[in-house]
């Protein structure tokens, strides 16, 4: 009896070992495939990083005016990034139309004197509704508009919680950041399609990649602009129109002391961002911000929400 029990146990052990061996081999194959897929994704991301942020700054490129057109329209020209983007385009020989809810004539005059290009300012307060479109149409008439830049208002970064926004303020922000950018694209795209060249750059925020417990309006507006840009790129790319969604994080004003590696000054950011135009249709425009964006994308949502709440409460 004892010998029979031992023989039975040995047979059971061998059977279990044989079954486990096949399972181990299967798991090893699955693990190898998973590792290979992650390695391929890593190589792809590294290549994309180098192609977008390094190659354009090392290799000579065709002049923007030849690639897209002679004029650029900057909506949100009074914003830090919008103004810096306009100055960098002017430095590269592009004539500038600045559109803002407040007067930017002095900025346009300074750009014209410094960079020797035509520049003009247009006051259009889309917070007041559709009436602002008329002045913009007059400014765009008979001009070869090659580049449109829309910039989300930075005031959203400092807005209170969603219920803390008054109804009037909410309508103003919707008109200025959603209706206005949509209308601006609707105004310039027909001419670009006719000429079969042009670029649209929508500058929103890297905040669109994650929800925020304290910036609901900001993340909603930026997510709209990001998704709309990506859809337009696929819809009109075949017509020679390049639509770029630009997703920066914090950018400091030119000459600000509170700037650094992760928070570049606006002129530095604009120089990096414009070098990606025509190369990547969705980018942060600045390589340290791309690292931040990838980190946020890989972070579990609950970790991000917890961290943002702790940061908000400590400020």
| Per-residue pLDDT reduced to its tens digit, 267-278 | 999 999 999 998
Give the count of beta carbons closer than 10 Å to the beta carbon of residue 205: 25
First to last CA, the chain: 77
- CA angle at residue 275 from 269 to 281, to 5 degrees? 100
Joined tokens for residue 260: 């650094």
The confidence score (pLDDT) of residue 121 equals 92
Determine contact, residues 84/270, Cβ cutoff 8 Å: yes
pLDDT tens by residue, 26-73? 777 788 888 888 888 888 888 888 888 887 777 767 788 889 989 999
CA distance 290 to 248: 8
- For residue 147, the cross-strand partners are 72, 199
Query: Which residues 6+ apart lie within 8 Å of 217 measured at CB?
Result: 156, 159, 162, 165, 170, 173
- For residue 72, the cross-strand partners are 96, 147
The confidence score (pLDDT) of residue 128 equals 67
Q: DSSP string of 136-170? A: HHHHHTT--EEEEEEE--GGGGG---GGGS-HHHH
Which DSSP letter does residue 254 get? T
The confidence score (pLDDT) of residue 7 equals 52
Higher pLDDT, 101 or 91: 91
Strand order in the sheet with 241-246: 119-123, 95-100, 71-75, 145-151, 198-203, 241-246, 282-283
Thinking of the domain 63-310, which architecture would CATH place it in? 3-Layer(aba) Sandwich (3.40)
The confidence score (pLDDT) of residue 92 equals 92
Pairing mode, strands 282-283 and 95-100: unpaired
| pTM of this structure | 0.83
């Amino acid at each position: 009896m004892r010998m029979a029990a031992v023989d039975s146990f040995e047979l059971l052990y061998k059977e279990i070992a044989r079954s486990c061996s096949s399972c181990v081999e299967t798991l090893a194959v699955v693990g190898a495939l998973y590792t290979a897929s992650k390695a391929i994704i890593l190589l792809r991301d590294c290549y994309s990083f180098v192609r977008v942020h390094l190659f354009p700054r090392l290799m000579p490129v065709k002049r923007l005016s030849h690639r897209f057109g002679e004029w650029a329209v900057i909506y949100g020209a009074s914003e830090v990034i919008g103004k810096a983007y306009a100055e960098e385009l002017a430095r590269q020989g592009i004539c500038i139309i600045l559109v803002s809810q407040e007067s930017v004539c002095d900025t346009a005059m300074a750009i014209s004197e410094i960079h020797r290009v035509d520049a003009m300012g247009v006051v259009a307060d889309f917070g007041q509704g559709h009436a602002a479109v008329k002045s913009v149409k007059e400014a765009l008439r008979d001009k070869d508009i090659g580049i449109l830049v829309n910039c989300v208002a930075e005031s959203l970064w400092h807005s209170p919680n969603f219920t803390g926004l008054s109804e009037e303020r909410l309508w103003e922000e919707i008109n200025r950041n959603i209706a206005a950018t949509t209308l601006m694209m609707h105004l310039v795209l027909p001419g670009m399609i006719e000429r079969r060249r042009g670029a649209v750059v929508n500058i929103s925020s890297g905040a669109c990649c994650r929800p925020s417990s304290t910036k609901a309006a900001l993340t909603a507006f930026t997510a709209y602009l990001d998704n709309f840009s990506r859809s337009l790129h696929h819809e009109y790319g075949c017509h020679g129109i390049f639509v770029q969604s630009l997703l920066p994080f914090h950018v400091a004003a030119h000459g600000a002391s509170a700037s650094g590696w992760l928070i570049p000054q606006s002129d530095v950011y604009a120089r990096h961002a414009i070098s990606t135009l025509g190369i990547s249709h969705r980018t942060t425009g600045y390589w340290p911000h791309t690292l931040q964006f990838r980190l946020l994308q890989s972070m579990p949502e609950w970790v991000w929400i917890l961290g943002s709440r702790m940061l908000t409460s400590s400020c």
